[in-house]
Structure 1
Amino acid sequence: MATKSNGARRIVSLLRPSIVDTSVCRSCQQTLGRRQYAVATETPATETASIAKDPSASTTFPVVKPVYTINAGIALSRPPQVTRELEPFEQAYYFYQKRLNERLALPFTKYFYFKRGTPADEDWKRKILDRRTAARDIGKYNAYASDAWNDELLVDAREADPAHQVEMLVQDAEATANATSQDTSKKEEIPRPFPRVTEADKKGDEKSLDRLLPRTLYLLVQAKGGYWTLPNAPVEAGESLRLAAERTLAQSAGVNMNTWMVGYHPVGHNVLEFKRPAIDQAAGTELRGEKTFFLKARIMAGQADLSVNTLGLKDFKWLSKEEIAKYVHPGYYHDIKNMLADR
């Protein structure tokens, strides 16, 4: 009898580990010690009959399901229009490569184009002298001289500035055009490249798409409450996230923009928790907050127009990633910053 009892104990120990078993870790021992096991018992017939007669006799609590409003958001961007400015090290590096190419390339046979001793030849020699750039130790640099190896750039030399190089090329083109022109009464002018700093940059016009040309700009809108967000609106019943995003863009910034949706899947999301959830007793739901999923879009032409918006928006701005952080809530920016381009 003792043997049978010992065998049953072994089976029970295998099915349910003991809290004093050394093979059980400390965390599991604490869990087993706190766990309470209930045994299902048969409900007496009298108690069942009383519950059937009076359902309110049993204590029950309403089940409230937490829900969130699902919004479709738009990260509408204007891509960079020009390349970014070169860093000082990059300018020096490219200028060094230019000198290295001049030194290693074969000497230019100028007499193929200009006869020796002619005015054109003398003019070419003058231009070559004017184009020689400053070196730190030898003054004017000559790629074909015996000391051409000493080509270290002079600090803050204007010849290394890309803007100066472009201006010199334009002046040479104007001189050539005026020299070959038959109408000497009119001076030929070659169009200069457009400046990187626009009038919108000088005026600080944050609604213009012509500002911060080397950066990516995003459309930011101001709601009724005065807070700034990316355009967003609730997803309607039977509507996909992509269709909801397209509708949101049309209802918020108007239809005077030529836009292109990048994809069908969101690139980021934001969760807004309400301080006081709204409970709908009839539906048995508790509205805890909003979840906004953002899709990417690009503007190709046009401009935002809030005059006919149906979302109650008050204002808009085209801002870069760093500028957005100044207007939105820190928690909101934390959720969207990783989907914004750094340049």
Structure 2
Amino acid sequence: MASSRRGGQAMSALFKARSTEACTQCAQARTVPFLRAATLPLQRRTYSAEAAAAAAAATPSSQDTSTSTSTPRPVATAPDYRIRAGLLLSRPPLITRDPPPFEAAFYLYQKRLNERLTGSFRRNVYFKPDTMLALDWRLQMRHRKGTPARDIGHYHGGKGANGFGGATAWDDEFLVGDPEAEQLTNQDQLRERIISDADLRVSEDGEPLPDADRVRVERPQPRRTAADEANDTQRLDRKLDRTLYLVVQSADGTWSFPTADVRTDENLHETASRALESAAGVNMNTWIVGRVPVAHIMRDVTPTKEEAFTSEKTFLLKGRIMAGQADLKGNTLGVSAFQWLAKEELAEQLPKYYYASVKNAMPER
């Protein structure tokens, strides 16, 4: 039994020695290629003309004999395209849009349906008898011909033509082209009808005032501004219900968003911010929404002696303006003019290939 134990120990020692030798050989075989690959320099891509020239100057010539022929070093070559970044700076809508004719007609139908289904208005709950407010309410009801709601026209709310039921009790729909329907769905007239209810119709003595002597409340500002009337595209107070975008005119007369070349040490959002500041000044309070581009533009360019690029890739990021205005004084991009334009106006100013690449990044409003 002792001899068998000694035989087992000898076999174990022999197996351990052979395993150690095999692992050592395997480790040597794997270590050499790994170390050789780790000594290779990293290949970097250059995105500007000055960086490409510096990389070409740093590349060793073919006459350099110090480099081993067995491990050739990779050559850093300049790309044949140029990368640019710009900012799609926008001013969001400031007021709601006017409803289209179908929506206006649907809203009128809903108002009349609500008037027909709800309970009648109890004036005694809201107005004390023989007071100025009660007198003003009677005057308003007389002007509306018995209709409590002020924006649905002369309507009897399901009580019938004479208040006792009748054939017109459920007649709450207008035909196409009805002049009364056009008045009730016209937003300007509807706004004036609602605001006129706040006019003072009764004097302090409780006597009705003539129409010329009524105290009018202040009306809101019109939806169309002086910039809309003059079609001044450099002002931000135009087209208040639409989104406006800043475009600049370069030295060759073409319109585009503020754009600049991406430097080797910059990210896209840093280049977009620098392009806006270089083109339109620093008198604007802006905010870049995100660092992910919302549009991508590609076009071919003609190589020159200074730059050998054959194509150009432009990435546009989204931004918002909160205050301020563009100022072209001292801009470094050669910008000669700027405009704030809506989407359909951009289709007329921007080149066709340019607008086709960015139109899907802009909402209809």
How much has 1:89 moved relative to structure 2? 1.2
1:73 alignment partner in structure 2 = 86
How much has 1:188 moved relative to structure 2? 4.4
> For 1:334, what is the secondary structure of its paired residue?
helix
**Structure with more contact order per residue of length (Cα contacts < 8 Å, sep ≥ 6):** 1
How much has 1:181 moved relative to structure 2? 10
Matches within 5 A, 1:171-190: 171-175=196-200, 179=203, 188-190=215-217
Matches within 5 A, 1:148-297: 148-153=169-174, 155-157=178-180, 158-175=183-200, 179=203, 188-274=215-301, 276-278=302-304, 286-297=308-319
CA shift digits 1:140-197 (9 cap, x unpaired): 3211332331111362321332322321222221216x74699x9x974422122111
Q: Does 1:83 align with 2:96?
A: yes
Q: Quick check: 1:273–1:288 contact (8 Å CA) kept in 2?
A: yes
Q: Quick check: 2:132–2:204 contact (8 Å CA) kept in 1?
A: no
In structure 1, runs of 5+ residues without a counterpart are 1-62, 134-138
Distance 1:238 1:113, change over 3 A: closer
How far apart are the structure 2 equivalents of 1:304 and 1:179? 52
1:104 alignment partner in structure 2 = 117
Distance 1:117 1:244, change over 3 A: closer
> For 1:277, what is the secondary structure of its paired residue?
coil
% identity of equivalent residues:
44
Distance 1:180 1:210, change over 3 A: farther
> For 1:325, what is the secondary structure of its paired residue?
helix
> For 1:84, what is the secondary structure of its paired residue?
coil
Query: What one-letter code is carried by the residue in structure 1 that aligns with 2:343?
Result: K
Q: Quick check: 1:115–1:121 contact (8 Å CA) kept in 2?
A: yes
Q: Quick check: 1:268–1:295 contact (8 Å CA) kept in 2?
A: yes
CA shift digits 1:11-36 (9 cap, x unpaired): xxxxxxxxxxxxxxxxxxxxxxxxxx
How far apart are the structure 1 equivalents of 2:108 and 2:274? 51
Aligned CA RMSD, in angstroms, stands at 2.9
In structure 2, runs of 5+ residues without a counterpart are 1-75, 148-152
Distance 1:303 1:152, change over 3 A: same
Aligned length: 269
How far apart are the structure 2 equivalents of 1:181 and 1:264? 67
2:63 alignment partner in structure 1 = none
How far apart are the structure 2 equivalents of 1:180 and 1:68? 80
Q: Quick check: 1:222–1:313 contact (8 Å CA) kept in 2?
A: yes
2:71 alignment partner in structure 1 = none
**TM-score with structure 1 setting the length:** 0.71
Q: Quick check: 1:103–1:148 contact (8 Å CA) kept in 2?
A: no
> For 1:175, what is the secondary structure of its paired residue?
coil
> For 2:349, what is the secondary structure of its paired residue?
coil
The counterpart of 2:156, out of the listed 142, 145, 149, is 142
Distance 1:113 1:338, change over 3 A: closer
How much has 1:121 moved relative to structure 2? 4.6
How far apart are the structure 2 equivalents of 1:225 and 1:256? 25
Query: What one-letter code is carried by the residue in structure 2 that aligns with 1:259?
Result: T
Distance 1:308 1:150, change over 3 A: same
Q: Quick check: 2:246–2:339 contact (8 Å CA) kept in 1?
A: yes
Query: What one-letter code is carried by the residue in structure 2 that aligns with 1:156?
Result: P
How far apart are the structure 2 equivalents of 1:128 and 1:159? 17
Distance 1:261 1:120, change over 3 A: closer
Q: Quick check: 2:101–2:185 contact (8 Å CA) kept in 1?
A: no
How much has 1:112 moved relative to structure 2? 2.6
Matches within 5 A, 1:11-22: none
Distance 1:239 1:180, change over 3 A: farther
**TM-score with structure 2 setting the length:** 0.67
Q: Quick check: 1:278–1:288 contact (8 Å CA) kept in 2?
A: no
Query: What one-letter code is carried by the residue in structure 1 that aligns with 2:253?
Result: G
Matches within 5 A, 1:293-304: 293-304=315-326
How much has 1:85 moved relative to structure 2? 1.2
